[in-house]
């Protein structure tokens, strides 16, 4: 990568900005100041005209900083070039040559062959490593011919001492057999004791613990809750332990404690603290949670794409004019962004595929049952490269 490539990329960013401004009016003209709903509109436009997608993380990495110190992947450069009306990244550079710049015609072909060349080199290195291993394994076996002379013994030069003492003879076979049996049983007993101790150490939690099964149902509908629940286990002088209860499944908790205090919460149900004496509590129990009707309606209206006019009116009624609304991002540059009520309504009434990943994290109501706080995020499907 040369400095000229980085300059070409800055040119490409300017043309991307110019192309988008032809049919759109973002909050700011300069692309480095776009965020939130502006990025969502740009993602839709890129998918429409270039048949490609740019993640929010990639946008913040390469368009929020200027000048950049590295180039995006070649496939992303090609997508942005197609969006601005060129055949490829190579075609864009070819039509924007600087003074005295020579662009090799083989560059485009080399970009396509680079990946294959790397694979060939990697396979060659693996083959060489396997060959070295085979050579090391095939070591010649040592023969005992060299030491055979050292093991030859003769009695010609050896002196023998004759013991001329008188011995009394008696049978000791039975005595030795009894001692051997006693030693065998002693070692067997020690082995059994050690095995029992190891078993107690490894399985002590399972041996002395008890499992409890909890099912959570909607108090108004008397049906299982089809949403994830956050379960916090509170213990004295310890930090809370957080678990996740999966939709339509029992929450299983294993413990050897005599009491249980757990806090169950969800964006769509009111938080409830459950306390139990586990000495008398049943192993299986069904717990009712009171639904947060306003949060459920907010989720429904945010996800629905039908009857936009009625949807806007309903959201305007549910949300307080002074509500605090936060959008949480998954990138390191911008963690949280605040927005007002009307901008949130405009965002969730936008007919965009990005709203399929909208997730309400938390809500709060005032005394008049108006929503005064909303925290949400739009999850990304991008997988790490």
Q: 230 is written with which tokens?
A: 């956050």
CA angle 252, 256, 257 (to 5 degrees): 100
13-17, 94-98, 260-264: range with lowest mean pLDDT:
94-98
3-12, 224-233, 254-263, 298-307: range with lowest mean pLDDT:
298-307
**What share of the chain in percent tops pLDDT 70?**
70
pLDDT at 113 over 90: no
Q: pLDDT grade, residue 1 (50/70/90)?
A: low
Torsion from C-alpha of 185, 188, 194, 200, nearest 10 degrees: -100
- Answer with the residue of higher pLDDT: 96 or 384: 96
pLDDT digits (tens, 9 = 90+) for 47-64: 999 999 999 899 998 998
Q: What is the mean pLDDT of residues 284-312?
A: 74
The alpha-helical segments, DSSP class H, found in the chain are 3-23, 37-50, 56-63, 74-83, 89-94, 107-137, 173-208, 293-303, 308-318, 341-348
**What share of the chain in percent tops pLDDT 90?**
22
Residue 211: the pLDDT is: 86
Residue 144: the pLDDT is: 42
CA pair distance 213, 373, nearest whole angstrom: 34
pLDDT at 382 over 70: no
Q: 284 is written with which tokens?
A: 């299986």
- Answer with the residue of higher pLDDT: 304 or 225: 225
48-62, 100-114, 170-184: range with lowest mean pLDDT:
100-114
Q: What is the mean pLDDT of residues 239-255?
A: 88
pLDDT at 242 over 80: yes
pLDDT at 372 over 70: yes
Residue 243: the pLDDT is: 93
Residue 117: the pLDDT is: 39
8 A C-beta contact, residue 42 and residue 62? no
Which one-letter DSSP state was computed for residue 224? Answer: B
Residue 92: the pLDDT is: 93
pLDDT at 80 over 90: yes
Mean model confidence pLDDT for the chain: 77
Q: What is the mean pLDDT of residues 136-155?
A: 44
pTM assigned to the model = 0.40
Q: What is the mean pLDDT of residues 359-374?
A: 86
- Answer with the residue of higher pLDDT: 55 or 116: 55
pLDDT at 365 over 50: yes
145-159, 160-174, 179-193: range with lowest mean pLDDT:
145-159
């Amino acid at each position: 990568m040369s400095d000229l490539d980085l300059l070409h990329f800055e040119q490409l960013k300017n043309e991307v900005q110019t192309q988008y401004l032809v049919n759109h009016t973002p909050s700011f003209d300069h692309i480095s100041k776009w965020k939130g709903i502006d990025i969502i509109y740009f993602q839709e436009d890129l998918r429409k005209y270039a048949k490609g997608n740019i993640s929010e993380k990639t946008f913040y990495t390469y368009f929020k900083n200027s000048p950049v110190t590295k180039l995006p992947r070649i496939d992303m450069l090609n997508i942005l070039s197609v969006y601005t009306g060129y055949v490829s990244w190579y075609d864009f550079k070819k039509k924007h040559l600087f003074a005295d710049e020579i662009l090799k015609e083989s560059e485009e072909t080399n970009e396509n062959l680079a990946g294959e060349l790397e694979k060939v080199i990697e396979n060659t290195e693996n083959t060489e490593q396997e060959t070295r291993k085979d050579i090391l394994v095939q070591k010649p076996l040592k023969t005992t011919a060299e030491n055979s002379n050292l093991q030859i013994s003769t009695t010609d030069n050896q002196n023998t001492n004759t013991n001329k003492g008188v011995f009394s003879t008696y049978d000791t076979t039975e005595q030795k057999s009894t001692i051997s049996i006693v030693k065998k049983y002693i070692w067997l007993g020690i082995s059994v004791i050690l095995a029992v101790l190891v078993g107690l150490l490894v399985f002590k939690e399972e041996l002395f613990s008890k499992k409890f099964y909890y099912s959570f149902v909607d108090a108004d509908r008397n049906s299982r809750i089809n949403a994830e629940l956050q379960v916090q286990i509170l213990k004295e002088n310890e930090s809370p332990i957080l678990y996740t209860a999966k939709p339509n499944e029992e929450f299983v908790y294993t413990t050897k404690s005599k009491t249980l205090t757990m806090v169950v919460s969800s964006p769509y149900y009111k938080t409830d603290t459950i306390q139990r004496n586990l000495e008398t509590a049943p192993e299986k129990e069904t717990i009712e949670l009171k639904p947060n009707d306003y949060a459920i309606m907010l989720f429904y209206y945010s996800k629905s794409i039908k009857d936009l006019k009625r949807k806007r009116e309903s959201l305007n009624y549910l949300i307080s004019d002074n509500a605090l609304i936060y959008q949480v991002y998954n990138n390191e540059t911008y963690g949280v962004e605040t927005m007002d009520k009307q901008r949130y309504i405009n965002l969730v009434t936008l007919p965009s595929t990005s709203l399929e990943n909208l997730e309400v994290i938390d809500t709060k109501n005032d005394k008049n049952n108006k929503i005064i706080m909303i925290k949400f995020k739009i999850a990304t499907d991008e997988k790490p490269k």
